[in-house]
Structures are given as structure tokens and as C-alpha cells.
Amino acid sequence: MGRALRTFLSFNGPRFFTGRSNKKRAASASAAIALATPVQLGANLPLGHGVVLVTGATGGVGRRVVSLLLEKGLRVRALVRNEQKALAMLSAGKRPDPASSRLEVVTADIRDAASLTPEIMEGVVAVVGCTAAIVQPKTGDSEDRAKYYQGIVFYEPETLDSPEETDYKGVQNVLAAARKYGDVGGTKKLYSCSPAFIDRWQDFASLDDVVMGGRSDSKFSLVPGAGEEGNDDSPSRIAGVFEGVVTTDRGFASGGFTSMRTRNLEPALDLTGYEGIRLRVKGDGNTYKIILRDSDQWDGPSWSTMVPTKDGIWEDLEVPFASLIPVARTRSIPPEQRQPFKLDSVFALQIMLSKFAYDGEENPTYKNGPFKLVIQSIEAYQGNQAPRTPRYVHISSAGVERPGRPGIVLEEEPPAVRMNDMLGGILTYKLKGEDEIRGSGLPYTIIRPCALTEEAPNMPLLVDVGDTIKGKVSRDDVARLAVAALACPDASDLTFEVKSTIPFSQAWTEEDAAKVPSTDMTKVFAEVKGKVGK
């Protein structure tokens, strides 16, 4: 078979690699169909088409977080232990239809790290953690946990799960999986050599000047041992290797190029909120052209820039989107004819070694002969200017610092503090779980509610730091705080307690809620920030 025909088949015919199939991409495509317009929770918040993972989505706070996020137009992945319960609670008993719903329901047990799979974390840009070791009244509760949700009525409690396993190790597991497989760290993984992502490289095939009658010849393959030493993400140190021979042998004006290019990606990449792409490579001293296409036309306009590499040295090649030049064929598009780059629909990536830059100018480092570019990963990155909004919002509990605190009068403390030991160290392990989040380096918000009630939202809130306050607060308000935190740079890296100013003895109804202006959560976070800074 001629090389020109082989090239044609690579991009238009059956896939030339085995493994990752188009089917999988098609499934994620359908999940994103409803999202023609990305909805952002806050100015410049790069959630775009990204997914918010809600753990404990069948819980009192968790289920409210899910519906608030959906109301805001975000994609939500509800992580639950019991699928039937979740479907009944979150989706009218039916499995959500990926084509029309932004909700997905996934099952996992956070105590079991292996159940937190790459698929569960794929595309996750933020996590709202609402899990907790289950506490129930000893005398037995109803199926719908009516006694538990009564909140401020005291029943002798018992724990069903181990707080150490759920509130500490479980949180540790979620954090680790979100960092490893998700996009919570401010970068979006596009191509990487870790086992969970390796199939994605199948999007690429080589495309050389043979299509124009030239003689250059390249291949792109995954090569064990080629990767960067010490890179934990690549067992056997696998890396992608783009190599071959580039030549102007036949003297064609447009010959002398070789490239690796993706097929048209389906769905297109949404890089909204990111500042550029970063390639981890070991080059050969050649200057490569990095090309992105925001149109699905094969030969339509593209956006590109020339990037030099060092010979034999691992380095990050950063390609800010602002540095890309719009090009039609080999000619730069005149400024007056330029359209803005459509960041939310990047259909193809291409890496090219060519004799020419643009407009007939030559690539200054070009020479005929062999070349080799080793690629470890390609990711989109946020700039330093991007707002640092929380990527891990966690519902903990007031009282976590009180067990064992000198001078504490146990009789005056809430039951969880008094009974911490009897309840398996429930608060002690919640604090350890919090510590994991604070030490993770991710922007976080840790909300420590006082006693939770099923009362109406929009209670007047009182926030504090230092873990001394007591009182009640509605689950609705806690859920609203958690969702608001995702959009609020001021909420980053805060740990605070919250209660309402309504005393235990006074009920808070929908009528009360309607009489007061809706709480501005931005101000709530600013207030906490003020207290932390004191």
C-alpha cells in the first residue's frame, strides 16, 4: 500500500492502533451534548465543560449540593455507594440520560482506593466532599433516617462505619485519585503516559509531505524506556516518540515537512479558562511548529507557533494561546480578517517539523535528515493570573479541635465532642481528614457546620474560626455555601465554622426565609478571611 494511501486511512479510515476505540470517545461526547454553552459559576472560573464531583451525594448536604450545581448549569458526577438509592433521590428513579442531562451517577466506596477509578475522575475540575461515617440513633432509625435528620433532638448515637476509614483514609483516597486522574490541580491532562491515559495517544498519526509528493517519513509510537527518569506516571518509562527523516529531496516547494496530527477530536477539547498548552519533551535542537485547529475542516485555518527545542534535554515547552498565529495553509491571515481563537472547540493538535515557518520564511534550524522528539505529556495550563478558586470543598464539623482541648467543659459541648471516643474518634478523624486537604496544595474550603437541621435556607449566618461556636444551621445553607465557594477566590484556603444566629429554641421556616434578602456568600467568605487575618 502506498504511503499516501496509508496516511489517508490513518485519518479517515479504520483506526491504525488497537485498544482505545472511538466508542469510548463517543460516550463522553454524548455526555457533553447538552453543554453547547459552558456555564461558569463565577467570573473567569475555568470550570467550562469540566465536571464537579460530589462525594456523599445521597447525604443530607450532598444531595442538595448536587441539585444546586445542576441548577447552575454545571456538569455533576454524583459519587454514591448505593446506586438505586441515588437514582431514586437524584434522578426520579431513572438512570440519567447522558444526552439530555448534566448529571452522572457513579458508584464507589471512598474507603476502597481501587474503586476511585480514572473514569470517575476523568475531567473532574473540582470536588465537593460531603461523605461522613454514618452515625445513627442506637434505637434504630427509619429507612429514610427520619430521626437522624431531626437534627437537634438527642438520641443515643452509634457509628455504622469506622471514622478512621471514612473521614480520614477515605478523604485521603479521594484527594489522591482527584489529583492523579482529575484536573483539579489547575492543569487539564490532554495526553500523558500514565496507564490511565495512555490510550489517548491513539488520536495521533503521522502526516508527512508524502501527501504532496515529498519523501519525508515519520512515525509516532509509544516506546518503553524512552520516558523521563523518575517519572512516577510512566511505569517502564513509556513515552511517545515522534521520529523519522525529513527531507526536501524532490525539491517540491511545499515539501520538507513531517508531522504528527490528531484526528478531529470528538468532542472537541474545551480549553476555556486555560492560558496555553505545555508539552513535556526531550527534543533534538530542531524548531517544531505547534498547531491547534478550532475548526473541524481538514485544511481549514489553524493557529500555530514555532517552538525551539534543546538537544537531548528534558524541558517544558509552553505555548501560550496568545502566541499563536492564525494561518491559512502556509500564509498568516491578515489582521483585519482574523477571527478570535475558539478555545472551547479545539478539534485537532499537530506537531510539525517543516522547512518553512510562515509566509515563505524558512525555519532557521531546519536541516534535512533524521529527527526525534520524545513527548511525555501534553496538558493545558492556567496562567498565574487565573483566580485561585477552591478545587476541593469539604464539609467537616464544628468541634473537631475540641476533644482533648485543655479547659474544655465537656458537659457544655455538643454530643459529638462529649462522645468522641465512644463514636470511634469521629471528630479526631474528621480533623485528620481536614489536615490532608490543607496539606494537599490544592485550593480548598473546609466548612465546619454546627448542628445540621432540615430547616429552610437563607438563615442569617454567623461564621467564626478557632472552633468555639455552638448552634444550628440548615443543610440547605451549608450546601449553598459549598457551591458558592467554588466560584469565589476569597473562599480559597479557608477553614471556618458556621451556624445561624437563630437559637435552637426558635424554628426557621420558608416564610422566615422569604422575608430576608438572600445571603451574599461572597461577603461571608470575605468575613472569614478577615477573621483569619486577625
Ligand X SMILES: NC(=O)c1ccc[n+]([C@@H]2O[C@H](COP(=O)([O-])OP(=O)(O)OC[C@H]3O[C@@H](n4cnc5c(N)ncnc54)[C@H](OP(=O)(O)O)[C@@H]3O)[C@@H](O)[C@H]2O)c1
What residues make contact with ligand X under the rule CB under 6 A? 56, 58-62, 81-82, 109-111, 130-132, 134, 151, 161, 166, 170, 395, 397, 449, 451-452
The secondary structure of the chain in percent helix, strand, coil, rounded to multiples of 5, reads 25, 30, 45
Q: Is the peptide bond before 14 cis (omega within 30 degrees of 0)?
A: no
**Minimum gap (Å) between residue 181 Cβ and ligand X:** 17
**Minimum gap (Å) between residue 197 Cβ and ligand X:** 25
Nearer to ligand X, 132 or 357 (CB): 132
Tell me the residue nearest to ligand X as measured from the CB.
59
Nearer to ligand X, 349 or 423 (CB): 423
Nearer to ligand X, 45 or 90 (CB): 90
- What is the rounded CA–CA span in Å between residue 202 and residue 19? 8
Torsion angle in degrees (nearest 10) through CA of 145, 148, 151, 154: 140
**Minimum gap (Å) between residue 185 Cβ and ligand X:** 23
**Minimum gap (Å) between residue 383 Cβ and ligand X:** 35
Q: What is the 3-state secondary structure (H, E, C) of 118-137?
A: HHHHCCEEEEEECCCCCEEE
Nearer to ligand X, 319 or 452 (CB): 452
Nearer to ligand X, 128 or 378 (CB): 128
**Minimum gap (Å) between residue 158 Cβ and ligand X:** 13
- What is the rounded CA–CA span in Å between residue 86 and residue 451? 24
Three-class SS of residue 277?
A: strand
**Minimum gap (Å) between residue 64 Cβ and ligand X:** 8
List, as own/partner pairs, every contact residues 339-345 make where C-beta atoms lie below 8 angstroms and the sequence separation is at least 24, other chains included. Answer: 339/301, 341/292, 341/294, 341/303, 342/294, 342/295, 343/270, 343/271, 343/272, 343/274, 343/294, 344/38, 344/48, 344/49, 344/268, 344/270, 344/271, 344/272, 345/268, 345/269, 345/270, 345/294
Nearer to ligand X, 199 or 435 (CB): 435
**Minimum gap (Å) between residue 18 Cβ and ligand X:** 35
CA 469: distance to chain centroid?
Answer: 34
Strands 444-449, 461-464: pairing is unpaired
Nearer to ligand X, 158 or 199 (CB): 158
Three-class SS of residue 343?
A: coil
- What is the rounded CA–CA span in Å between residue 534 and residue 400? 21
**Minimum gap (Å) between residue 524 Cβ and ligand X:** 17
**Minimum gap (Å) between residue 21 Cβ and ligand X:** 30
Nearer to ligand X, 163 or 185 (CB): 163
Nearer to ligand X, 74 or 431 (CB): 431
Side-by-side strand order, sheet with 257-262: 204-208, 257-262, 348-354, 287-293, 302-308, 325-328, 331-332
Point out which residues pair with 129 in neighbouring strands.
55, 394
